[in-house]
């Protein structure tokens, strides 16, 4: 009929197109094999140079079995439509591996005939439109939906390429009271604006699409009876204008797909109404102008109270959905986004009203973000606290405190010990034992008293005293052996040869370096312990430091009290979640 028509536009109304398994094999395929191009028996491409207008035309798929008992379905496949294709109230039509070089328009909702053999088991006409593995190279306009209870529509656009056009919106879909909306695994080429609206629809599935640099507007509205709504695994490289309501826990709105592109539709509309008429017109006529206004809106959200509240409301509804689904990871992520938006709003309010109250709220939010991601990440609070302790410990390291007094005595004693050694013919071990004479004599006296009291003391008492004596002597014995082993050049310094003096220098220098390292380690440890003590507000009795660090310790105590309080709240919050 198309080929025989002489008109540049082929029109057909009120008809049923029946598939004949015997004569129309060109347009049949096995349902069990799927929808891939490789499963068609004939891959020749037909070219149609006429515009098509089908009104109330219904395609009746065969209810027959093939040679292998598989169900045979019908599709218009491998067809290139060079001009506009317009479908009004068209039921059960499937395009596969087709190319639409011009506009594709699909409409329903007007009064239509309901041929008895096209009604389903519930007596409803199925306005099913499927576009699969195809190319849509110009504007796409789809408006499905009807108030008639016996006419329910469904749309599926799958694994197809959709190209941008310079004429307004390149892809526009609106479904009212439709059975299902499916836009899956499609790739959007170029730069355009895609609008997908599902109003009072039973099932919405928009997943696996690459929207590229398109501006995308997604609306799932009036979904009181919504069974399933799925928006996941999509790629958005440009603004996403989103609106939805009344989701159930069976719905899936994947947070990670939005990136930083998410915009509230209602918030943007409130902002858009404040623009001049010329800017509004430009947004409809030019992709660049539209993109520029959306980018400007994202920068100025916090300046408009109504828009700001709508942005918080949108994220709050997503937060409620993730809470109901026990998705704690996305709950924390969305909560952080909401608090970041609040922080930006507080910063703006401070520029408008630079009071202490607005400044304090703003800075507290900034601190909570840096300290623990607004209470969602207690481990970050620990890292932050450790850094504060180390910073103050570094400051205390350069100021004397009473805990380091013993370190000073050790240094003086060490130099006094080595000057005796350099001026004496005796070895280091001998000098060390002389210095420990009083201590050693006390240990020996203790040992002698125990041995003399064998008949007067219980056996267990004598047996236990031996380990105590050995433990008391072990440090002295080990030090004595180490000094004796390393003292390779004993004798007075001035009597040594030049080569012996060089080795003696190395020996003494090594001991001094080890000693300084030990003293420095003790000093660092003291500074660290002082900082921990101050930070955790354990208390000193008397702060063991003087001067400026004394007041720094008090400041650190206040910081520690505040941080540990916030950490406790964050940890409890996570445990309750």
pLDDT above 50 for 38: no
Average pLDDT over residues 309-328: 93
Look at residue 62 in the predicted model and tell me its pLDDT.
64
Residue 165: pLDDT band (50, 70, 90) is confident
**Phi-psi domain of 259 (left: phi exceeds 0; alpha: psi -120 through 50; beta: other):** left
Average pLDDT over residues 364-380: 84
- Report helix, strand and coil shares of the chain as percent, to nearest 5: 45, 25, 30
pLDDT above 50 for 36: no
Q: What is the pLDDT of residues 468-503, one digit of tens each?
A: 878 888 888 888 888 777 777 677 777 777 887 787
Average pLDDT over residues 360-385: 85
Q: What is the pLDDT of residues 547-576, one digit of tens each?
A: 566 557 667 776 777 777 777 777 676 666
Look at residue 513 in the predicted model and tell me its pLDDT.
84
| Cβ burial, residue 469 (10 Å; 0-12/13-18/19+) | middle
pLDDT above 60 for 205: yes
Q: What is the pLDDT of residues 62-108, one digit of tens each?
A: 655 555 556 677 888 899 999 999 998 887 888 999 999 999 999 87
- DSSP assignment of 492-559: -GGGS-HHHHHHHHHHHHHHHHHHHHHHHHHHHHHHHHHHHHHHTT---SS-SB-SHHHHHHHHHHHH
Residue 463: pLDDT band (50, 70, 90) is confident
How does the average pLDDT of the chain come out, rounded?
81
Tokens 């849509």 appear where? 136
| Cβ burial, residue 53 (10 Å; 0-12/13-18/19+) | middle
> Within a 13 Å sphere around the CA of 371, how many CA atoms are in the beta-carbon half?
22
Look at residue 362 in the predicted model and tell me its pLDDT.
93
264 against 437, higher pLDDT: 264
Residue 271: pLDDT band (50, 70, 90) is very high
Q: Which residues pair with 5 in a beta bridge?
A: none
Average pLDDT over residues 310-319: 94
Look at residue 227 in the predicted model and tell me its pLDDT.
61
**Of the ranges 81-85, 286-290, 372-376, 484-488, which is most confident?**
81-85
Whether residue 182 contacts residue 207, with contact meaning beta carbons closer than 8 Å, is answered with no
2 against 168, higher pLDDT: 2
Q: CA-CA distance, 8 to 49, in Å (whole number)?
A: 8
Q: What is the pLDDT of residues 396-432, one digit of tens each?
A: 788 776 666 666 677 777 778 778 877 887 877 788 7
Residue 273 token pair: 């109404």
Q: In this structure, what DSSP letter does residue 294 have?
A: H
Contacts 24+ apart (CB under 8 A), 301-306: 301/267, 301/271, 301/341, 301/344, 302/341, 302/344, 302/345, 302/347, 302/348, 303/348, 304/270, 304/271, 304/274, 306/267, 306/270
C-alpha closest to that of 251 among 205, 194, 193: 205
Look at residue 461 in the predicted model and tell me its pLDDT.
82
Average pLDDT over residues 515-534: 79
Lowest mean pLDDT among 111-120, 323-332, 377-386: 111-120
Look at residue 500 in the predicted model and tell me its pLDDT.
76
DSSP H/E element including 13: strand 9-18
Look at residue 506 in the predicted model and tell me its pLDDT.
81
Residue 269: pLDDT band (50, 70, 90) is very high
pLDDT above 90 for 153: no
C-alpha closest to that of 207 among 224, 229, 184, 227: 184
Q: CA-CA distance, 210 to 321, in Å (whole number)?
A: 24
Look at residue 333 in the predicted model and tell me its pLDDT.
93
Q: CA-CA distance, 510 to 520, in Å (whole number)?
A: 15
Whether residue 158 contacts residue 186, with contact meaning beta carbons closer than 8 Å, is answered with yes
Cα dihedral: 10, 120, 174, 8 (round 10):
0
Lowest mean pLDDT among 163-172, 248-257, 305-314, 438-447: 163-172
Average pLDDT over residues 304-325: 93
Look at residue 183 in the predicted model and tell me its pLDDT.
94
Average pLDDT over residues 242-248: 84
pLDDT above 50 for 117: no
Q: In this structure, what DSSP letter does residue 70 have?
A: P
pLDDT above 70 for 42: no
Rg value, the chain, Cα: 42
Average pLDDT over residues 513-526: 80
Residue 393: pLDDT band (50, 70, 90) is confident
Residue 116: pLDDT band (50, 70, 90) is very low
Q: Which residues pair with 291 in a beta bridge?
A: none
């Amino acid at each position: 009929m198309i080929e025989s028509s002489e008109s540049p536009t082929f029109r057909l109304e009120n008809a049923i197109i029946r598939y004949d398994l015997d004569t129309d094999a060109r347009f049949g395929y096995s349902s069990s094999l799927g929808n891939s191009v490789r499963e068609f028996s004939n891959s020749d491409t037909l070219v149609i140079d006429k515009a098509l207008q089908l009104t109330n035309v219904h395609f009746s798929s065969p209810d027959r079995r093939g040679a292998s008992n598989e169900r045979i379905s019908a599709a218009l496949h491998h067809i290139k439509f060079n001009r506009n294709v317009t479908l009004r109230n068209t039921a059960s039509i499937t395009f596969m591996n087709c190319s639409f070089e011009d506009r594709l328009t699909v409409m329903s909702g007007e009064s239509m005939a309901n041929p008895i053999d096209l009604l389903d088991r519930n007596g409803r006409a199925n306005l099913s439109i499927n576009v699969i593995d195809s190319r849509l190279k110009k504007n796409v306009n789809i408006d499905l939906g009807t108030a008639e209870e016996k006419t329910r529509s469904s749309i599926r656009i799958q694994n197809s390429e959709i190209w941008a056009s310079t004429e307004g919106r390149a892809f526009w879909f609106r479904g009212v009271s439709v059975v299902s909306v499916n836009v899956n695994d499609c790739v959007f080429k170029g730069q355009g604006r895609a609008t997908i609206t599902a109003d009072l629809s039973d099932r919405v599935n928009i997943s696996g699409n690459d929207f590229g640099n398109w501006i995308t507007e997604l609306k799932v509205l009036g979904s009181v009876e919504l069974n399933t709504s799925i928006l996941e695994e999509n790629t958005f490289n440009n603004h996403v204008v989103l609106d939805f309501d009344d989701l159930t826990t069976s719905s899936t709105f994947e947070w990670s797909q939005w990136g930083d592109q998410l915009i509230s539709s209602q918030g943007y509309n409130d902002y858009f109404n404040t623009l001049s008429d010329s800017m509004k017109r430009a947004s409809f006529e030019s992709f660049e102008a539209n993109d520029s206004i959306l980018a400007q809106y994202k920068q100025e959200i916090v300046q408009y109270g109504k828009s700001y509240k709508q942005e918080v409301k949108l994220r709050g509804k997503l937060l409620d959905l993730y809470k109901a689904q026990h998705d704690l990871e996305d709950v924390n992520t969305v909560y952080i986004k909401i608090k970041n938006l609040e922080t930006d709003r507080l910063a703006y309010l401070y520029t408008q009203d630079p009071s202490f109250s607005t400044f304090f709220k703003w800075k507290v939010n900034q601190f909570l973000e840096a300290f623990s991601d607004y209470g969602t990440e207690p481990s970050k609070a620990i890292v932050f606290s450790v850094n504060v302790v180390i910073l103050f410990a570094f400051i205390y390291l350069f100021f004397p405190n009473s805990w380091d007094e013993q370190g000073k005595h050790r240094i003086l004693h060490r130099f006094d010990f080595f000057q005796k050694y350099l001026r004496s013919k005796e070895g280091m071990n001998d000098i060390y034992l002389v210095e420990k004479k009083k201590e050693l004599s006390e240990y020996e006296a203790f040992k002698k008293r125990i041995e003399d009291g064998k008949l007067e003391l219980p056996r267990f008492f004598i047996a236990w005293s031996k380990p105590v004596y050995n433990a008391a002597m072990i440090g002295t014995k080990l030090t004595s052996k180490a000094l004796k082993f390393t003292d390779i050049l004993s004798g007075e310094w001035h009597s040594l040869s030049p080569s012996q003096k060089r080795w003696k220098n190395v020996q003494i220098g090594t001991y001094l370096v080890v000693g300084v390292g030990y003293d420095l380690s003790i000093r660092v440890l003291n500074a660290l312990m002082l900082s921990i003590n101050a930070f955790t507000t354990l208390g000193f009795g008397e702060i063991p430091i003087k001067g400026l660090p004394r007041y720094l310790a008090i400041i650190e105590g206040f910081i520690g009290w505040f941080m540990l309080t916030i950490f406790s709240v964050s940890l409890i919050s996570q445990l309750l979640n």
